[in-house]
Amino acid sequence: MSELPRSTPQFYLTAPTACPYLPNKYERKVFTHLVGDKASPLNDILTQGGFRRSQNIAYRPACDRCRACVSVRIMVDAFEPSRSHRRVLNRNKDILGQAFQPRPTAEQYSLFRDYLDARHAEGGMADMSVLDYAMMVEDTYVDTEVVEYRRIGPDTFITGRGEGPVLAVALTDRLSDGLSMVYSFYDPELAERSLGTFMILDHIERARRLGLPYVYLGYWVKGSPKMGYKSKFLPQEHLMPEGWTRVDTLDGE
C-alpha cells in the first residue's frame, strides 16, 4: 500500500460534543493540521472553503443533520459604514491599531483574562492559562499578526505608535484574498466604545488599503445571540452549497 506524502493534509473527525451556539444540539468538527512550508497556501484554500484556524489546526463543522453554522466574509469594496458604524468610528478616533509579529505579552494576557472573565466566564476558553494564550498566538505556521489598539498620544504622529495601555487586540491571518479575524478581545470596562465593532471596521479599512476583497468573520448562526453582531456588516457573502453567495439583508437579525 502506498503512503501519502507528508505534504498531503489528512483530515480527522471529532466526537460529538455539546453545541456552544444552539441548545440541545451537538457539534462535530472535521480538522487537519497546518504545518510546514505549505501551511499558508493550505490555510488560504481551507478558509475559502469554510474552515477556521485555531493555532496549527484548521477546522470546520461537520454536524449530523445540522447546517446552522454559515461561513461569512465581508465584501470590502461594497461595504459602506452605517450611521451606527460612523458613530463607533467617531467614538474611537483617538485609538490607533498597530500590527506586530505574533508574539504574546503579559499585557495582552492580562487583557485577555479580563475579557474572558467578564464576557465568557462559562465558555470553553475560560480556563486558558498564560501558556495556553501564548500557544494561541505564536503556535502558527501561517502569515499572521497581532494588532494592538492603544490611544493616540502627542508623539504618535512622529513614532506611528499608540500610547498607554493596550485596549483591544486582534489575532489576524493575512490570506491571498483577505484578512481573517481569528480571535479578538478588548477591555470589558470600555463597553461604550463598542471596540469589537471598531476592530472589524478597522480590519475592513486595512483590507481595503492592502487591495484585499474580503474580511473573514468565521461562522454566523441565525438565532444565536453570540453571533448577532456579524449580521451588521453588509453586504457580505455566505458559503452555501452552491458556493459563496452575496447577502444584502438578514431577516430576523
Q: Which amino acid is at 113?
A: R
Is residue 47 over pLDDT 90? yes
Q: How high is the pLDDT of residue 222? A: 87
Helix (H, G, I), strand (E, B) or coil at 177: coil
The Cα–Cα gap between 247 and 23 comes to 26
The tens digit of pLDDT for each residue in 88-103 reads 999 999 999 999 999 9
- Give the range of the structural domain holding residue 205, as residue numbers without chain letter: 81-215
Do both 111 and 198 map to the same domain? yes
For the chain, the average pLDDT equals 92
Do both 51 and 161 map to the same domain? no
The tens digit of pLDDT for each residue in 136-184 reads 999 999 999 999 999 999 888 888 888 999 999 999 999 999 999 999 9
pTM confidence score? 0.92
CB neighbourhood size of 185 (10 A): 23
Do both 133 and 16 map to the same domain? no
Do the bridges between strand 163-174 and strand 144-151 make them parallel or antiparallel, or are there none, so unpaired? Answer: antiparallel
> Per the domain annotation, does 181 fall within a domain?
yes
Q: Which amino acid is at 184?
A: S
Q: Percentage of residues in the chain with pLDDT exceeding 70? A: 94
CATH value at residue 103: 3.40.630.30
The tens digit of pLDDT for each residue in 100-145 reads 999 999 999 999 999 999 887 666 677 889 999 999 999 999 999 9
The Cα–Cα gap between 246 and 239 comes to 9
Q: Please compute the mean of the pLDDT values over residues 26-49 and round it to a whole number.
A: 95
> Per the domain annotation, does 1 fall within a domain?
no
- Contact call for residues 31 and 12 (beta carbons, < 8 A): yes
Q: Please compute the mean of the pLDDT values over residues 33-47 and round it to a whole number.
A: 95
The Cα–Cα gap between 50 and 69 comes to 10
Is residue 4 over pLDDT 50? no
Q: Please compute the mean of the pLDDT values over residues 78-94 and round it to a whole number.
A: 97
Do both 24 and 99 map to the same domain? no
